[in-house]
Structures are given as C-alpha cells and as structure tokens.
Structure 1
Amino acid sequence: MQAIQKYQDKSAVIGILGLGYVGLPLMLRYNEVGFSVLGIDIDPEKVEKLNQGKSYIEHIPAEKIEAARHSGFEATTDFSRASECDALILCVPTPLNKYREPDISFVVNTTEAIKPFLREGQVISLESTTYPGTTEEELLPRLEEGGLVVGQDIFLVYSPEREDPGNPDFITRTIPKVIGGHTPACLEVGLALYEKAIDRVVPVSSTQAAEMTKLLENIHRAVNIGLVNEMKIVADKMGIDIHEVIHAAATKPFGFVPYYPGPGLGGHCIPIDPFYLTWKAREYGLNTRFIELAGEVNSSMPDYVVSKILLALNDRKKAIKGSHILILGIAYKKNVDDMRESPAVMIMEKLRDLGARIAYTDPHVPVFPKMREHHFDLSSTPLTRENLAACDCVVLTTDHDRFDYELIRAHAPLIVDSRGKYLAPEGHIVKA
C-alpha cells in the first residue's frame, strides 16, 4: 500500500494540529527521526514564536525548536495547508464546560477546518482524550462528506496521547502508544504512521476500545487518588500521618501501588477525563457511582486545605481576613509550568474571597498567566527569609524540587503542608 510505504521511507509529511503540551513533543519526535513536519495552530502568537525558534513550554528547550526549524519544521495558522500533509494528527484540547459536560468543540472545529482540504491517501489520527464513540460519531461522517471513503480512500484512527510533563523517566519515544482503527486498513496505516516514531505501538480492535483505554488509565488514577485523599482525612482525625502509612504500605512487594494525597487534582487529564465516561454512560442508562464519588472527594480537597488554614490561623489568634498568605507552587504538579486545573489556584481564589492577602512563589511560573476562568494580577515573590517571615501563613501546594525546604521550615511562622514534605512533627507545621 502506497500510504504505508511513505512512512517506511519517511517521505510522508506529518501534520500536527495543536502545538501544546502534546503536539509539540510529538512534532519534535517526528522531526528527530527524519520526517518533514508541518504544525498548524489557531494561536498566531504560538506560531510566530515557533517559527522564530522559541519555546513557550518550560520543559521543552528553545534549542530543540530551533534545531527543528533548521531541519524543516514549520508552523502555520493556515488550515488549507493540511492538503500538503500525508498524516493529520489532532492534538487539541477537550475541556469540560461549566456543567461538567464534555466540550469537544475544538475537535469538531478542527475537523471542519481541515475537511475541505482532505485528499486520498491521508491518515487522520485523533489523540485528544474523549468519550468512547467520538472518533466514529464526530470525525467519521465529517471526513466522508466530500465523497472520500474512510478505510479505502482515507484512513481514520484514534491513538490517545500519553504525556507526563516533568517526568524525565518517560519521553514521547519510550511511552507505548495504543492505537485503534475504524477498519483493519485504517489500523494498518496508523501503525505505519506511529511505528517509526514510537518504540512500542499497541494495536486494539477499534477506535472505541482505544478511547476507553485512555479513560480507564486516568480513571484508575483519579479513583486511587480519591481513595488516598479520603484516607488522609480519616488518618488526620485519628492523629496518624498518612504519608508515614503510605511509605510503610509501599514496602509490600505485591498487591499495593502507592498513591499520594494532595490539595486536589490538576492537569488536563485526571480531573476531567472521568467525567467524559460518566457523561457517556448516561446514554446507556448507567450511573458510574464509583467514579463520581472519587470526583467528589478530589473536588473537595481545596476546601479541606482552606479549612486547615483557617483553623491554623485561628489557633494563633489570627483572622483569615487581612492575613498575608504565601502560596508555594501554583503549577498543577511539581517541576512543570502547566497551570491547567491547578488546585493551588482554586485555593488562592477561596482565600482571596475570605479576605486574605495572597502572594505566590513559583520558580516555574514567574507571572500569573492569563487563564479562562481565573484572574490574578500577580508575579512570583522571591523566596527569601524576609518574605517568609513577613507572612502569617505559608501554604505548600506544589512541591517543586527547586524550593529550599529548609529555608521555608526555618523562617515561615506557620506552614500548612498539603504535600507531605515535612514528615517530622513541629509546632509551626500543620499537615493538610
């Protein structure tokens, strides 16, 4: 098949639609193995930066973008150029709307944008996390509107993204790639597309099975984090340190996987993806009570941390109103600059609404970014002994490795630790 041969000899042009935390690493990988890559994004600022050899994601160095530019990578906002590509890989956001329902408008709009420029021999791969059935219900009919037959003229696959930003142990190449095709021919072309870039490709029987695989991975994590967050609350009431318990339990060499509690869930996947399945399950008359309960527990954690701050200040005869509170770390996880769904931001908003004076320090986020739903006109405060001592309370929300934890312990008058960094009990440290 000619479509497969192009990937084997690397003459295919790879189109990446959406150049964010998923699309950009994928672009670099295809560029690295010798493919010509065209990136398409609706954000002209991103496109301009990339074409200048600059990066807007902290853990992706500008030198890598610059090298990709010199070896043929180009970014554009012009969707008509999709016709130049042999593969079109969609890496666009799939958030929830305000009713906690799936918002697949980015997927639909991107598909509509490329639809007039489709041609024979192309493979379209959706990587965005979504509910089972999206590929066949939303992409398939749109791709066939112009008369092209999927599985014969063009090929359609679903291959969920698996990125773990800030984790040096796993990169795009080494994370196994699950892929499902609409037809056996679609799967065959999809495997050829990914096999040159990814060490291990794992085929499944359908696009729905691949979509469900991604949801199971993230629901597994969300449910277990929900469990350990609930255990944290119980252990705290009993005067037991949950982190000590987890470390002890993790010595069991079978039947236990350690998950760690925190101030809530963040990132684009774990807080959102479970609700994609609960929404779709209603179509079949099913209630996913287990998943929804975990979601409730995890969603309540910012309130739990705030209550711990209130009680800690109250014990020191201080009101929350007017208190100077320093938030340590506002990215959703350690050692990254990603702010999506960050529980730290939710804690900041709740404290601000209660009248606290909020500041933050985060070596990965020098200026509070523009966000769709959260607004703070703040820059990162330097982490000095003077700034720590001037606070009424310091709240550890994201445990970046670059923080000087001994400096914080020595000079903060009150520490509310939601990450379990301070295991030794001290009078000015409150575990949350």
Structure 2
Amino acid sequence: MPVAALAARFRARQGTIAVIGLGYVGLPLALALVAAGFDVLALDQDPQRVRHLAAGQSPLRQVPAETVQGALRSGRLRVSAAWHRLAEADAVLVCVPTPLGRHREPDLTAVEAASWRIARQLRPGQLIVLESTSFPGTTRQVMLPILEATGLRCGTGFFLAHAPEREDPGNGGFRTATIPRVVGGVDAPSLALASALYGAFLEQVVPVASADVAEAAKLTENIFRAVNMALVNELKLVFGAMGIDVWEVIEAARTKPFGYMPFFPGPGLGGHCIPVDPQYLSWQARAHGVPTRFIDLAGEINAAMPQHVLDRLALALDRLQGRGLRGARVLVLGIGYKRNLEDLRESPGLRLMEMLEARGAAACYFDPLVPVIPPLAEHPALAGRHGLAWSAATLAECHAALVVADHDGVDYAGLAAAVPLVVDTRNVCARLGLAGPHIVKA
C-alpha cells in the first residue's frame, strides 16, 4: 500500500494496530487506540496475563477492569498470544521491557525477541514502532537488520520508527492520549506514517529528525530527573549536617516563580526508568570513548541513599532505645517503588528489607497495595512474604518503622502513636502535622 494511502487510513482511524507487551505501557496504549476507534490486536508472551485480559480482568490497578471489559465488548480489542496474527496488523507497536543485565548493561532480549516475531510475519506495507526506552541507535541498529533479513527494505517494503513511551504509572493527572509524544522515523516515509498514526489518537505529536533523536530525547528526560534527584539527595546530607531541614528548604525555594523546579529526596531510586535509563546512555557513551562523569556520579549518590537511611535508623535506635539493629523488629512501610504504586521493580523498600536482615534485624513490611511479595529474580529470599496485619497491637511489637513509600490511605497517626521510633524518608509525618522526638527524618 502506498505511503499516502496508509497514512490516510491511519488519520481516518481505520485498520488494525497490534500492540506487543501489555504492561504499564502497552495496555494503556491499546485502550487509548480502542477509544479512538482503531481495531487493536493486543499480544503478550505471558499466557496468564492474556487469559485475564481476555476475561475482562485488569492486571493494573490504575486501569479499571470496566475499561477493559468495555473495550472487549466493543469488538475493537482482541487479546491474543497467537503471534502469527501479527500479519493482520497495519502497524505493530512494541512495548516490551528494556531492563539491565547482571552487570548493569542494557538487556535488549525482549526487543530482539519481539523483532524476530514481527519479522516472521512481516508483510509489505506494515509500520513497526518501538516504544521501549533504549539507547540511541537501538531502532536502527538492532531492529532494522532483523526486519530487513526478510528481504523487505525499510522505506519501501515496510516502515520503522521510534516513539518513546511517556507513561507515569499512578499519576492520574495525565492520560496516554493527552501526553505529547515524540516520534522519529528511520527514514522520511516512516516518520510520515508514524506521525499520522499517533496523531490520530494523541492530542500532540512532536516529530524529530530521526529515531536516534527520539531515543535520545527519552533518555534525556529521565537522566534530567535522575541527576536532579541526586542533587537534592546530596543537599539532604549537607543540610542535615548543618541542622537544616531540606524539605523546608525546598518548600521555600519553590516559591520562586521562575528558574527553579522542585525535586525531593528519598530512600533510593526505584522503577523501570530512573535507575535504569541513565545506564543505557553511559554504556553506549563508553563504547564511543566518551565519559559520563555527571551521570555516573548521580548514580553513585542515588545508589548510596538506602545505606544512609539504614545508618539514620541505626543511630536513632541507639539514641532513643539504647539498642542496635541486631534483634530489632523493623517495619518497612511501603515497598512499591513510589507512592500509590504496587510496582516492585528496583524497589528501595525491598533493598532495605534485605539490608536490615543482613544487619541482624527482623524485617517485616506493610503495603496496602502489595499483600504478598511475588517471586522476583533480584530478591528471591523475600518471595511469598505476607504484609503485616495492621493493628495497634502488631505495630506495638515493632521497635521501629521505616516509611519508604508514602501511600495514601495509611493511618500515619496510628503508626506514630504505636511505634516508638518512626524514620520517615518521605516527610509524610511532617506534612500531616505529626511530630515528636521519636519521628526522625532520613
């Protein structure tokens, strides 16, 4: 099909769009496409996820089951694990994980696997778009050769672009359709088609010169956040040594209406973006012989925050109770990597539980969103643990509580009343007006 004709189909919201990967990125994307009027083929390699979605169940708390059920009833959403059906699609959007490997190197296994699956079904005229975050050159250097091994050529036989996802799980202030999307093509026809497709269901598309630029833009967004988080974490240490409350400093600074953007300290970085994406650029920069000193230093500072929190906890236990960590029962409050989210990827809460137990403490946890810790390759010893049954009696059995993720709906006043030491890494107690010598900021 000629480029102009396919672009017109996209603008008219016609045709079938396949979405590979139905997690935090892919499922909201699929539903946004359905809401715009597209027919969507949603695929995932996890058979249990496919079964649940096909039955109208949502695997994500922030995606209501009713929304999934409505999309299924409309007939526009088809959930499948049948990869041969990729041949039915006019466009294939790839939303698979891009984690780090054992040695903190980029792991593109899922991207490569998805590319080979697409290649086996690739037909002339299809548009392929990678949404997964990766280093500049991934779309062009990893996906393109796999797809062109079919004998088809990009720009004539098929089309290839990068449109990095911009989801913020747990943030109800933005929807997939309202977040501007950067789009870069491997060539001009690919950019034109990708812009037509995304423009048909998003409010704003930002075309850029190449897929490499689009990939670099996404890394820049997240590196900006990682570096500024490291800065404020370091300021927390500096101001703390001076007896100055860093949260009060930030609140004062943010009253300036220009030239300042508030970032807040924490117990360490978590999630699938901020701890991971800077490593992708650092890895590639080393391959080009270019140092990334600023990025690497930020990573070191952020990675040191769990140890700082543990040290503050040990010091407070010694000062207030005359005891050390060994033998202490410590409640970790919030093991999702951020507020109001159950995602455990790179969770500082899980890391702190392991560090506590390595120091001889008995670590328990409470998280209203994670009743049981699932099997995780990074934390095998924690799998299957159940959260604490919340009550004044069970809280009173703890020597200390460590607030790691400040979820809504938690009785922080009850916590402060029942536990003799609360170490707060999120300033939630102060925000709620809770104070006392047993509440310590970290």
2: CA distance, partners of 1:69 / 1:352: 46
> 1:148: how far off?
1.1
2: CA distance, partners of 1:371 / 1:358: 18
Q: Which runs of 4+ in 1 moved over 4 A?
A: none
Alignment match of 1:9 (pick from 9, 12, 15): 12
Alignment match of 2:144 (pick from 115, 140, 143): 140
Secondary structure (helix, strand or coil) at the match of 1:298 reads helix
Q: Is 1:390 aligned to 2:388, yes or no?
A: no
Secondary structure (helix, strand or coil) at the match of 1:349 reads helix
Counterpart residue type for residue 290 of structure 1:
F
Q: Is 1:335 aligned to 2:335, yes or no?
A: no
> 1:204: how far off?
0.3
1:98-247 equivalences in 2 (<5 Å): 98-247=102-251
**1:322 alignment partner in structure 2:** 327
> 1:10: how far off?
2.0
Q: Is 1:64 aligned to 2:71, yes or no?
A: no
Counterpart residue type for residue 232 of structure 2:
V
> 1:385: how far off?
1.8
Q: Is 1:308 aligned to 2:315, yes or no?
A: no
Secondary structure (helix, strand or coil) at the match of 2:128 reads strand
Runs of at least 5 residues in structure 2 that lack an aligned partner in the other structure: none
2: CA distance, partners of 1:8 / 1:98: 43
Counterpart residue type for residue 355 of structure 1:
G
> 1:425: how far off?
4.8
Alignment match of 2:365 (pick from 360, 364, 375): 360
Q: Is 1:431 aligned to 2:431, yes or no?
A: no
Per-residue displacement from partner, 1:225-274 (whole Å, max 9, x unpaired)?
A: 00000110111111111000000000111111000000000110000000
2: CA distance, partners of 1:428 / 1:17: 50
Per-residue displacement from partner, 1:21-68 (whole Å, max 9, x unpaired)?
A: 000000110111111111111100100000110011111111111111
Per-residue displacement from partner, 1:259-316 (whole Å, max 9, x unpaired)?
A: 0000000110000000111111112210000000000000111111111111111221
Secondary structure (helix, strand or coil) at the match of 2:175 reads coil
Question: Contact 1:3/1:122 (CA < 8 Å) preserved in 2?
Answer: no
Aligned sequence identity (%): 47
Secondary structure (helix, strand or coil) at the match of 2:301 reads helix
TM-score by length of 1: 0.98
**1:344 alignment partner in structure 2:** 349
1: CA distance, partners of 2:104 / 2:308: 21
2: CA distance, partners of 1:382 / 1:64: 32
Secondary structure (helix, strand or coil) at the match of 1:199 reads coil
> 1:5: how far off?
2.1
Secondary structure (helix, strand or coil) at the match of 2:428 reads coil
Alignment match of 1:265 (pick from 255, 263, 269): 269
Counterpart residue type for residue 204 of structure 2:
R
Counterpart residue type for residue 437 of structure 2:
G
Runs of at least 5 residues in structure 1 that lack an aligned partner in the other structure: none
Question: Contact 2:18/2:89 (CA < 8 Å) preserved in 1?
Answer: yes
2: CA distance, partners of 1:114 / 1:204: 25
Secondary structure (helix, strand or coil) at the match of 1:38 reads strand
Counterpart residue type for residue 173 of structure 1:
A
Question: Aligned-pair RMSD on alpha carbons?
Answer: 1.1
Question: Contact 2:12/2:200 (CA < 8 Å) preserved in 1?
Answer: no
Secondary structure (helix, strand or coil) at the match of 1:173 reads helix
1: CA distance, partners of 2:361 / 2:80: 44
Count how many residue pairs are aligned between Structure 1 and Structure 2. 432
1: CA distance, partners of 2:132 / 2:210: 16
Counterpart residue type for residue 151 of structure 2:
G
Secondary structure (helix, strand or coil) at the match of 2:291 reads coil
Q: Is 1:410 aligned to 2:420, yes or no?
A: no
2: CA distance, partners of 1:378 / 1:19: 26
Question: Contact 1:17/1:88 (CA < 8 Å) preserved in 2?
Answer: yes
Secondary structure (helix, strand or coil) at the match of 2:306 reads helix
Counterpart residue type for residue 425 of structure 2:
S
> 1:128: how far off?
0.4
2: CA distance, partners of 1:370 / 1:85: 34
1: CA distance, partners of 2:324 / 2:342: 32
Q: Is the alpha carbon distance of 1:218 and 1:293 closer, same or farther for their aligned partners in structure 2, counting shifts above 3 Å?
A: same
Question: Contact 2:229/2:264 (CA < 8 Å) preserved in 1?
Answer: yes
Question: Contact 1:148/1:154 (CA < 8 Å) preserved in 2?
Answer: yes
Secondary structure (helix, strand or coil) at the match of 1:2 reads helix
2: CA distance, partners of 1:132 / 1:366: 39
Secondary structure (helix, strand or coil) at the match of 2:278 reads helix
Secondary structure (helix, strand or coil) at the match of 2:134 reads coil
Counterpart residue type for residue 421 of structure 1:
V
